[in-house]
Chains A and B, each alone.
Chain A
Amino acid sequence: MLSLIGIVVVVVGFMARMNPLLVVTVAALVTGVAGGMGPVQVIETFGKAFQENRYVSVVWVVLPVIGLLERAGLQERAKTLIGQIQAATTGRLLLLYFVVRQATAALGLTSLGGHAQMVRPLIAPMAEAAAETHHGPLDDETRQSIRAHTAAVDNIALFFGEDIFIAIASILLIKGFLEQNGILVEPLQLSVWAIPTAFCALAIHGTRLMLLDRRLARTLGAR
């Protein structure tokens, strides 16, 4: 039970808005010591785990080309393009992105989206431009809220689309775990049961996006 002290460190640290890097490191060191490791062994375990998870950070290599294109006006071009389409509202645009992202994730094409490659350079400026077309210039608070919505759409559509694909990591994990416990299931049996939740996600979040349009119209008025 003593090993749970690291979780307390994490919760308190995040709530106190301390620097998360510090919080995580302290939590790791405390957990290791409480779990019976010596100081050297804890640092070794943490260092080894950090090194083995470097692949998580490789994705930052996309930033130079995204920055280069932003410099040349990619966001402005995305705004112009969406501003020309009268039917494009923020909510509808995000719903369209949701459907495309969820459908492609369900086919295993999870790399088609992403915050650095897709949301920041293309989707976020488009969502802002659609709001500007219909409601005029945006105040800062509205702009922030729209941006947060674009990131949320990418996440929710991905999470509740990818499990329909049979070879995704989470499906293989479930299959492997059940197998260890003597229960054999085919990946297809699992992915089929991800479909009802996928439709719920679409219905729930789609409704919220339509409500976002109404909120924008109410607070900002028509142009």
Chain B
Amino acid sequence: MIGLEVLYVIGGAFFAAIAVLSARDATNPKRWKNTAFWGLFAVSFLFGSHLPDFANGLVVIAMVLTAGFGGLGLGLPATTGPEERRESALRLGNRLFLPALAIPITALAGTFLFKRPELAGLVDPKQATLVSLILGVFVALAIAMPMLRAKPITPLQEGRRLLDTVGWAAVLPQMLAALGAVFAAAGVGTAIGQIASDWLPSGSQLAAVVAYTFGMAIFTMIMGNAFAAFPVMTAGIGLPLIVLHFGGDPAIMGAIGMLSGFCGTLMTPMAANFNIVPAALLELKDRNGVIRVQIPTAILLLLANTALMYVLVFRF
């Protein structure tokens, strides 16, 4: 059955290739740091499931020490210039969109097909979307490679060009997910829930709703993830006050509470995959550039959520 382990081997092979190509790139002044960083990441991908936890921890720490001081370098794989790209775009026309669109289309089709009973057992149904996305990459390559008459090494070099622009930020979302797990194991959530319920304004319905929606947004900003904030805030404020004390509707509380958390996600660097990684991918000078654009919408929407919950939750 195709599941996460297969994807980890594919990912590991990719990161290993990046490490090797970085080592051979003399234009990168920090090439050995890049080699070490992506090489260690490849080790984690290829052998992480079989290594003892302690060894996995040491691999992470070694990666952090490699990239944490002075960052990684930028390789300069041979690519095309603006003029060549314009000519190539003119020559190939809309055919260029075909491989690009093959990725989401395969991802979609696979997500549905792999869950059908006839195909059961082929792909882990829990990972159908991720497997289909990676399958989409191979479909796109199968279309693009002959169309562009590309050498086998070319996609890897171009992939390295993009991965180098993202740099260490590529690993940040996974690191933050791991931090969340340590937070959970050390009881950070319960401690915050304790603080929230100690400070709880017990008077009015409005105060309870405001404490819950704003609490969801703020705690999400701290944890970087509304999923981590939801159980803590709902157990601390939502259920005892809004539902049990004031008789609010639990479905409305839960739905709008989660969406208030999403407003927090838009405003925090801790949600790296949504905020920091795209800033790197789009080559923004300001690491927080995406967050800055999102803040006005996030605040207005948080107020809208608070108003919606106050109006709806005690009425149904």
Contacts and interface: CB of A to CB of B under 8 A. Distances in A.
Contact of A21 (B137, B156, B171): B171
B4 interface: yes
A136 to B, nearest CB: 18
Interface in A174-223: 174-175, 177-178, 181, 183, 185, 189-194, 196-197, 200-201, 204-205, 208
Given A3-B187, A64-B141, A189-B251, A58 B134 contact: yes
B297 A156 contact: yes
Interface string A19-41: 11110110110011011110010
Contacts of B121: none
A48 B56 contact: yes
Nearest to B311: A196
B130 A55 contact: yes
B252 interface: yes
Contact of B60 (A40, A46, A64): A46
Given A22-B64, A73-B96, A189-B251, A147 B284 contact: yes
Interface string B49-69: 101111111111101100111
Contacts of A175: 254
Contacts of B141: 64-65, 68
Interface residues of B, number: 147
Contacts of A54: 4, 8, 11, 44-45, 48, 174
B103 A25 contact: no
Contacts of B290: 148, 151-152, 155
Given A155-B266, A197-B304, A69 B284 contact: no
A122 B281 CA distance: 13
B231 interface: yes
A46 B182 CA distance: 6
B193 to A, nearest CB: 12
B282 A147 contact: yes
B23 interface: no
Contacts of B226: 170
Interface string A140-157: 000011011111101110
A177 B226 CA distance: 13
Contacts of A191: 255
A10 B270 contact: yes
A118 interface: yes
Interface string B213-249: 0000000001000110011001100010001000000
B267 to A, nearest CB: 11
A49 B94 contact: no
A138 to B, nearest CB: 14
Interface string B4-30: 100110110011000000000000000
Nearest to B316: A193
Contact of A190 (B58, B93, B254): B254
Contacts of A96: none
Contact of A112 (B45, B92, B108, B148): B108
Given A6-B186, A50-B56, A193-B252, 16 more contacts: A1-B191, A14-B269, A24-B176, A49-B178, A54-B4, A57-B45, A64-B14, A64-B141, A68-B155, A124-B282, A147-B284, A155-B275, A156-B266, A177-B234, A190-B251, A208-B297
Nearest first, the 5 closest Cβ-Cβ pairs linking A and B are A67-B158, A35-B186, A47-B57, A73-B89, A47-B56
17 contacts: A19-B69, A20-B175, A21-B68, A24-B176, A55-B4, A56-B177, A57-B174, A58-B11, A61-B134, A67-B155, A67-B161, A72-B85, A80-B89, A148-B282, A151-B290, A200-B301, A201-B297
Interface of B: 4, 7-8, 10-11, 14-15, 41, 44-45, 48-49, 51-61, 63-64, 67-69, 71, 79-80, 82, 84-90, 92-94, 96-97, 99-100, 103-104, 107-108, 111, 127, 129-130, 132-134, 137, 140-141, 144-145, 148, 150, 154-159, 161-163, 166, 168-183, 185-188, 191-192, 222, 226-227, 230-231, 234-235, 239, 243, 250-252, 254-259, 262, 265-266, 269-270, 272-279, 281-287, 289-290, 292-294, 296-297, 300-301, 304-305, 308, 312
